[in-house]
Every structure is written in C-alpha cells, then in structure tokens.
C-alpha cells in the first residue's frame, strides 16, 4: 500500500482540439494505473466542454505521483495550463466505482476547498450519501492540511458547495465533473 494523491490538471484555453486528438494516448496512459485508481474523470463547462482532468491514485511516494502527473500525454503536449498535486486521504475507503449512486444520473461535481493549513483536517460530513470521494489535501509529508477535495452528486453547484463547511476555507471551487475512463 502506497500513498494516495489528488491530481487536478486544468486545461489551457484553446486546447480542446489537442485534448480530443490525444484521447486514446491519455486513456492508454491511465490504463497503466487502473489498479491504483481511486477516482478519475473530466471537469466540464455547463456546455460539456472539458476544462480539466481529476485523478485520485494510490502511488508509492511523492516522486511517483509527480511522474504520474507530469509524464501524462496531455501534460506533455501542452493541453494543461497547470497541475494541482497533493497528498490525499481516502476518508470513504472506497473507489468511485463503489459509489452506490452508480456511474450515471444526477449532477456530479468536484468541490475543492483550499485553506491556510489549519491544525486538523475535517471529518466526513454525516448523512452525506451523495459523496463519491472525500478527503483532505495534504502536504507531501502528509503532516499539513491544505484543504479538502470532494466528488459529490448534488442538485446543483450550491448544494455541492454545501458539502464543505463555510468559513473554514480561503476559497471553494465547484466544477462540473463526470465519471471518467474509457466508454463501455
């Protein structure tokens, strides 16, 4: 068992055609990490255009996580403008494929709460059957809490935002998200 990492590649403006051209290379690269994958999928505009890629993976160490993030074909080709890569802790103890709500149906969101490194990470909110993945964003050594990342099924962006406690974070981002991987 390794360490869990949250990786969010954000697309560069105008890179949609390049992303489409590299779809098979991206999927082939990710296939190599199938056993380590906790969750994956694109973030999207309201119109369905990809704006980024989320991958939560279990890897041996921070060096392996950096290699995963920066050797990725879309990153190498210039699709992404930046990468958020943090240690993460799987507070639900499952993968997205184990989510009782299934792969489709309802609105799905990535919720990122970025904070100033408070002393204690938040607990899993109670009564939240809509959580697909949930956990703290941590420093490379796992000692410092830097925020929280959640994948959630919700009625809309504000309902998704409500999964994180207001006032605890410097900024909360909400992105449309969908289950990723090769189509069946």
pLDDT given for residue 120 in this prediction: 61
When pLDDT is cut at 50, 70 and 90, the band that residue 83 belongs to is very high
Q: For 48, left (φ over 0), alpha (ψ -120 to 50), or beta?
A: left
Residue 170 has pLDDT above 70, yes or no: yes
- Runs of H (alpha helix) within 22-178: 23-31, 62-71, 73-77, 157-161
Question: How many CB atoms are closer than 10 A to CB 120?
Answer: 7
Is the pLDDT at 126 greater than 70? The verdict is yes
- Is pLDDT above 60 for 74? yes
């Amino acid at each position: 068992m390794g360490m869990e990492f949250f990786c969010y590649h954000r697309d560069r403006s105008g890179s949609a055609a390049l992303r489409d051209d590299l779809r098979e290379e991206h999927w082939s690269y990710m296939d190599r990490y199938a056993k380590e994958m906790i969750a994956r999928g694109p973030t999207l505009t309201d119109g369905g255009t990809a704006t980024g890629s989320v991958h939560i993976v279990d890897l041996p160490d921070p060096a392996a996580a950096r290699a995963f993030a920066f050797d990725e074909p879309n990153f190498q080709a210039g699709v992404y403008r930046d990468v958020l890569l943090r240690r993460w802790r799987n507070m639900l103890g499952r993968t997205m494929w184990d989510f009782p709500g299934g792969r489709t149906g309802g609105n799905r969101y990535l919720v990122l709460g970025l904070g100033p490194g408070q002393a204690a990470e938040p607990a899993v909110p109670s009564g939240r059957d809509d959580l697909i993945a949930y956990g703290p964003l941590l420093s490379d050594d796992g000692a410092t809490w830097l925020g929280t990342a959640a994948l959630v099924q919700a009625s809309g962006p504000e309902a998704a935002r409500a999964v994180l406690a207001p006032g605890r974070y410097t900024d909360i981002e909400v992105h449309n998200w969908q289950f990723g991987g090769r189509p069946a």
